[in-house]
Amino acid sequence: MERLALIVHRYGLDVNGGAEYHCRMIAEHMAGRYDVDVLTSRTKGISPWDNVYDKKEEKEGGIKILRFEVEDASVFPSDSIEQTGPYCPSMMQYLNKHYKEYKAVIFFTLNYYTACAGLKLNINNSIFLPTAHDDNAIWSEKYGEAFSYPRGILYNTVEEKNLIESIYEVGNIPSRIGCFGIDIKEYERTGNSIDKAGNYILYAGRVSNSKNFKELNKYFIKYKERNPSDLKLIVLGEMDRGMEIINHEDIIFKGFVSDEEKNQYIRNALVTVLASKHESLSIIVLESLACSVPVLVNGWCEVLKGQCIRSNAGLYYTNYREFEKELTLLLENDDLRSAMGENGRNFVKSNYSWERIIQNIDSLINEVCSEKQS
């Protein structure tokens, strides 16, 4: 069987993060077609990077995981890729020596050393999955240089593709749109044991300033003051170190939970809320739609706004008054929530099946491979 390498900064069942989860899902679904190796660091955290994982090599669900040590990058300039981390020069040495053993090498997410340094090796079977959005990183020279090297690009959405092509000359690089899938049957409404929170809206993901959680924190408290009820906000996901929040009796932090628990919380939510202004794709939005639960998202994010419009399964806001108006509309109208939920499920089923996504990725791999041989 041909081999495939996936490169990501962190990896593991106990790692919380969208790009990391994205990599794991692709690894698991490509494993039937390829012998998949995941090359990653030994880190579990981000700030600071650590070397929590002891094993340099392990097997997980038929996938070989190769973990490389995070080394001290303090000798490099503070604005360097090495300082951004996780600085794993031994991974680059391995790639430079072994990349020809793989049909393709897929690098995940723009913002880290593992992708940027790996792409700069200029290997002829590289595919970039940048998960880029309109923030400082996409405009930064140190990150932007990475777009000079890939032989193929995987975009999450048309908005991401349009953004990158408006900044960098990548239009001639083979590409595909759509690289994350949903197993719709996993999200069917079944019996569960966690529905004890009553009426709640849900946030799931990193509790981070980069995800604009602080704004959602304030908006929800203000909403409860102006609209007294038993409504709660349940928050799933690890909190960034040093994150400042405003505690409230109706905001319930559950921390990191298993995929099964997360799915149960989604299924029983009235609405899933995402406050982030910068996304290339929101997995939690797709998972919510798969559960027939409508979403309320930040309208300043073109990707999320586009997903709501195309699916007709969510609303978006750009300030508190719109947040209050849209949330109240969803909470007070059961028929609207039901109709939007059905729209969302059909949208995911039609556009995000893993069978379709894997064929999409595989077609790009084959195109890059044919160009490599020509």
Q: What is the pLDDT of residue 258?
A: 86
Chain centroid offset of residue 291 CA: 18
pLDDT band of residue 358 (cuts 50, 70, 90) is very high
Q: What is the pLDDT of residue 8?
A: 97
How many angstroms separate the CA atoms of 134 and 255, rounded? Answer: 28
Helix (H, G, I), strand (E, B) or coil at 165: helix
Angle CA 192–194–195, to nearest 5: 90
Q: What is the pLDDT of residue 359?
A: 94
Q: What is the pLDDT of residue 373?
A: 62
Mean pLDDT of the chain: 91
Q: What is the pLDDT of residue 280?
A: 77
Mean pLDDT on 266-274: 95
Residue with tokens 């007294």: 228
Q: What is the pLDDT of residue 210?
A: 85
Q: Which tokens sit at 135?
A: 């923030």
Edge-first strand order for the sheet with 35-41 is 57-60, 63-68, 35-41, 3-7, 104-108, 126-129, 152-155, 175-177
The pLDDT of residue 11 is above 70: yes
Q: What is the pLDDT of residue 271?
A: 97
Amino acid at 63: I
Q: Which tokens sit at 181?
A: 């899938």
The pLDDT of residue 242 is above 90: no
> How does pLDDT run across 57-76, given as a tens digit for each residue?
999 888 999 999 999 999 99
More confident residue, 336 or 192: 336
Torsions phi, psi for 321 (to 5 deg): -60, -40
Q: What is the pLDDT of residue 197?
A: 62
- 212-219 long-range contacts, CB within 8 A, separation 24+: 212/275, 212/276, 212/277, 212/298, 213/243, 213/245, 213/275, 214/244, 214/245, 215/275, 216/273, 216/275, 217/245, 217/246, 217/251, 218/246, 219/275, 219/320, 219/323, 219/324
The pLDDT of residue 148 is above 70: yes
In the chain, CATH 3.40.50.2000 sits at: 3-181+353-367, 185-351
Please return the burial class of 69, using the count of CB atoms within 10 Å of its CB with bins 0-12, 13-18 and 19+.
middle
Q: What is the pLDDT of residue 165?
A: 94
Please return the burial class of 13, using the count of CB atoms within 10 Å of its CB with bins 0-12, 13-18 and 19+.
exposed
Mean pLDDT on 211-239: 95
DSSP state of 240: P
- The CATH architecture one would assign to domain 3-181+353-367 is 3-Layer(aba) Sandwich (3.40)
Angle CA 314–315–320, to nearest 5: 145
Q: How far is CA 193 from CA 166, 198, 270, 360, in A?
A: 48, 13, 17, 37
Minimal CA–CA distance to 104: which of 363, 361, 369? 369
> How does pLDDT run across 97-145, given as a tens digit for each residue?
999 999 999 999 998 999 999 999 999 999 999 998 887 778 888 888 8
Q: Which CATH number fits domain 185-351: 3.30.700.30, 3.40.50.2000, 3.40.50.300, 1.10.10.60?
A: 3.40.50.2000
Q: What is the pLDDT of residue 48?
A: 85
| Four-CA torsion 249, 255, 257, 261, nearest 10 degrees | 10
> How does pLDDT run across 280-328, given as a tens digit for each residue?
788 899 999 999 999 999 999 988 999 999 999 999 999 999 999 999 9
Mean pLDDT on 329-355: 94
